[in-house]
């Protein structure tokens, strides 16, 4: 099937490469010429495991190409995936949907008869219906719009696209649903659940799922606050609670909290849209979810201050991790980088090391110092902070790291290290919610 994928960020570039892998003829569209040039050469402008091999494979065969011209890309295409960003508006919690609206406005008069526009961007409920009216007004006979929310996890985006756990399609016409079903025929043939819903439900699925996950994370972090006050251990608590199969262990992991380009802005945009609809009280708890998440960052900074004996200024602090999660170079709303910045503002000499996010972090926080290796980051450190749970950090040898630091003190803000092993190696070990 001939298709376009409009937007070449984390979602769009991955979706384009994976659609080519599924056998479709794909043209990716982006307004950034430098990004288009990199993608055309098979280079991803960000780190995502397994993505670059797919880009190289399909740009070399010609099944996948990129352009800045939407008019050129749209010519003869049967399906158009809209994958542009909907960031949080500056100074407001609501989502900025201007890019999505602009794309559909430009695309509508370019559609071929029977073409389907498929929205994947996360948008506030109600927008898809308005965008569908724009598509229908474009004049192409039989053209329509569907909504197909994405459920990608950064670090696993390729796997999640090629082998999704479910496919949700919101559409008003059965024939539109069948076009989208044909796009995902490979996954459907392997038994992936294919759910057909209304446009409004499709819009809500992503924000509802992210709100639930954020709530679960903040719940266990609220329990961490109780553990810190009472001497209980939140890791043991979560382990015991998670055996209830109604709850489960996934996302029940206390630590520094969530970040990135989805969960924080999605729960804020959900609250903003609820308020517009007069339903603010229905999701009012999400405000506390967000607040708990923010408090974990403040707690980490305060605990670092305590470990350093109440004097941060001039002390050398090694920060391990800058990305908001491992296997990504995304530093949007990163808890790790936020903590590093706060310690810098308190006067600490902060050195950050991240296996993949050094350059994105440097662009975001140029005032911090950055190391090219774990060994260089911890050299002569008074305190080591583990803030992103990269495998390299989880596997650290406490004795080897101890030979490089000035003081054997570590704050494990992700609760991924073995406290006993580090304590036996002479370290002062602290974790969040561990008494």
Residues forming the active site = 262
Structure tokens at 104: 């559909």
Strands (E), 139-290: 144-147, 167-170, 194-197
Helix, strand, or coil here: 241? helix
Q: How far apart, in whole angstroms, are the C-alpha atoms of residue 425 and residue 112?
A: 68
DSSP letters along 181-212, please? HHHTHHHHHTT--EEEE-HHHHHHHHHHHHHH
- 384 neighbors 367 (Cβ within 8 angstroms): no
Nearest CA to 328 among 5, 10, 1? Answer: 10
The torsion angle over the Cα atoms of residues 240, 245, 247 and 250, rounded to 10 degrees, is 80
Kind of pairing, strands 316-320 and 144-147?
Answer: unpaired
- 147 neighbors 202 (Cβ within 8 angstroms): yes
Q: How far apart, in whole angstroms, are the C-alpha atoms of residue 98 and residue 102?
A: 6
- What is the C-alpha radius of gyration for the chain, rounded to an integer number of angstroms? 23
- 350 neighbors 344 (Cβ within 8 angstroms): yes
Strand order, beta sheet including 369-370 = 369-370, 349-353, 316-320, 383-386, 409-412, 428-431
Kind of pairing, strands 79-82 and 144-147?
Answer: unpaired
The torsion angle over the Cα atoms of residues 279, 282, 283 and 288, rounded to 10 degrees, is 120
What contacts 24+ positions apart, CB below 8 Å, involve 183-187? 183/1, 183/3, 183/19, 183/22, 183/24, 183/79, 183/118, 184/22, 186/22, 186/23, 187/162, 187/163
What contacts 24+ positions apart, CB below 8 Å, involve 30-34? 30/6, 30/66, 30/68, 31/68, 32/8, 32/68, 33/68
């Amino acid at each position: 099937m001939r298709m376009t994928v409009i937007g070449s960020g984390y979602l769009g570039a991955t979706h384009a490469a994976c659609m080519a892998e599924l056998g479709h003829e794909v043209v990716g569209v982006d307004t950034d010429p430098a990004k288009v040039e990199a993608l055309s050469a098979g280079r991803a402008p960000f780190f995502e495991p397994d993505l670059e091999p797919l880009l190289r494979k399909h740009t070399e065969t010609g099944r996948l190409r990129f352009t800045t011209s939407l008019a050129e890309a749209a010519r003869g295409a049967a399906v158009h995936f809209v994958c542009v960003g909907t960031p949080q508006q500056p100074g407001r919690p609501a989502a900025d949907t201007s890019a999505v609206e602009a794309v559909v406005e430009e695309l509508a008069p370019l559609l071929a008869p029977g073409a389907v526009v498929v929205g994947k961007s996360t948008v506030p409920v109600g927008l898809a219906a308005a965008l569908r009216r724009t598509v229908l007004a474009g004049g192409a006979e039989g053209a329509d719009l569907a909504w197909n929310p994405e459920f990608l996890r950064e670090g696993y985006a390729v796997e999640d696209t090629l082998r999704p756990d479910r496919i949700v399609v919101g559409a008003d016409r059965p024939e539109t649903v069948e076009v989208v079903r044909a796009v995902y025929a490979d996954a459907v043939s392997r038994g992936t659940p294919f759910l057909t819903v209304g446009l409004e439900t499709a819009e809500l699925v992503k924000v509802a799922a992210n709100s639930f996950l954020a709530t679960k994370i903040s719940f266990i972090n609220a329990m961490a606050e109780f553990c810190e006050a009472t001497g209980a251990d939140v890791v043991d608590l979560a382990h015991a609670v998670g055996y209830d199969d109604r709850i489960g262990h996934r996302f029940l992991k206390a630590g520094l909290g969530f970040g990135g380009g989805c969960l924080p802005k999605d729960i804020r945009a959900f609250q903003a849209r609820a308020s517009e609809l007069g339903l603010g009280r229905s999701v009012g708890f999400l405000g506390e979810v967000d607040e708990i998440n923010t408090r974990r960052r403040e707690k980490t900074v305060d605990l670092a201050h305590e470990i350093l004996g109440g004097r941060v200024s001039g002390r050398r602090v090694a920060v391990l991790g800058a990305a908001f999660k491992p296997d990504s170079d995304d530093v949007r709303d990163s808890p790790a980088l936020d903590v590093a910045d706060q310690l810098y503002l308190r006067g600490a000499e902060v050195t950050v090391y991240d296996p993949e996010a050094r350059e994105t972090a440097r662009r975001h926080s140029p005032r911090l110092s950055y190391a090219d290796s774990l060994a260089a980051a911890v050299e002569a450190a008074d305190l080591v902070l583990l803030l992103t749970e990269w495998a390299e950090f989880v596997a650290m040898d406490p004795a080897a790291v101890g030979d490089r630091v000035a003081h054997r003190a570590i704050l494990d803000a992700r609760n991924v290290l073995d406290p006993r092993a580090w304590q036996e190696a002479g370290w002062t070990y602290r974790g969040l919610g561990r008494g």
